[in-house]
Amino acid sequence: MSVAPLINVALLGFGTVGSAVARRLLDRSGGNKAIALTHIFDRRAAEKAESPAGLALASRPPVAWTSSFEDILVSDVDIVVEAVGGVDPAVDWARRALAAGKSVVTANKQLVALHGPELWALAARQGRQFRFEAAVGGAMPIVRAVAEGLTGDSITQIVAILNGTTNAVLSQMEATGCSLSDAVTDARARGYAEEDPRADLDGDDARAKLAILSALAFGVRVAPDQIPSRSAARVEAGDFTTARGRRGTIRQLAYAAYDRERSTLSAWVAPVVVARDSLFGRAVGPQNVAVLTGKHSGDVGIFGTGAGGDATAVAIIGDVASIARDRAAIVPAPRLTSDFRLHNPDHEIFELAEAV
Contacts with ligand NAP, residue ranges (CB under 6 A)? 13-18, 42-44, 83-85, 107-109, 134, 138, 307-309, 312
Torsions phi, psi for 171 (to 5 deg): -70, -30
Least distance in angstroms from the C-beta of 179 to ligand NAP: 24
Least distance in angstroms from the C-beta of 164 to ligand NAP: 7
Nearer to ligand NAP, 22 or 353 (CB): 22
Which residues, 6+ apart, have CB-to-CB distance to 124 below 8 Å? 330, 331, 332, 333
Nearer to ligand NAP, 116 or 248 (CB): 116
Pairwise CA distance, residues 30 & 168, whole Å: 30
Least distance in angstroms from the C-beta of 12 to ligand NAP: 7
SS3 264: strand
Q: What is the DSSP letter of 279?
A: T
**Catalytic member of 48, 102, 109, 209:** 209
Beta sheet of 248-259, edge-to-edge order: 298-305, 287-294, 155-161, 248-259, 264-275, 341-342
| Partner residues linked to 342 by β-bridges | 265
Pairwise CA distance, residues 197 & 174, whole Å: 19
Nearer to ligand NAP, 138 or 228 (CB): 138
209 is catalytic: yes
Beta sheet of 64-66, edge-to-edge order: 64-66, 35-41, 7-12, 79-82, 103-106, 130-131
Least distance in angstroms from the C-beta of 313 to ligand NAP: 9
Nearest residue relative to ligand NAP (C-beta): 15
Nearer to ligand NAP, 197 or 308 (CB): 308
Q: Cα 287 vs. chain centroid, distance in angstroms?
A: 13
Nearer to ligand NAP, 106 or 266 (CB): 106
Least distance in angstroms from the C-beta of 342 to ligand NAP: 25
Catalytic residues: 209
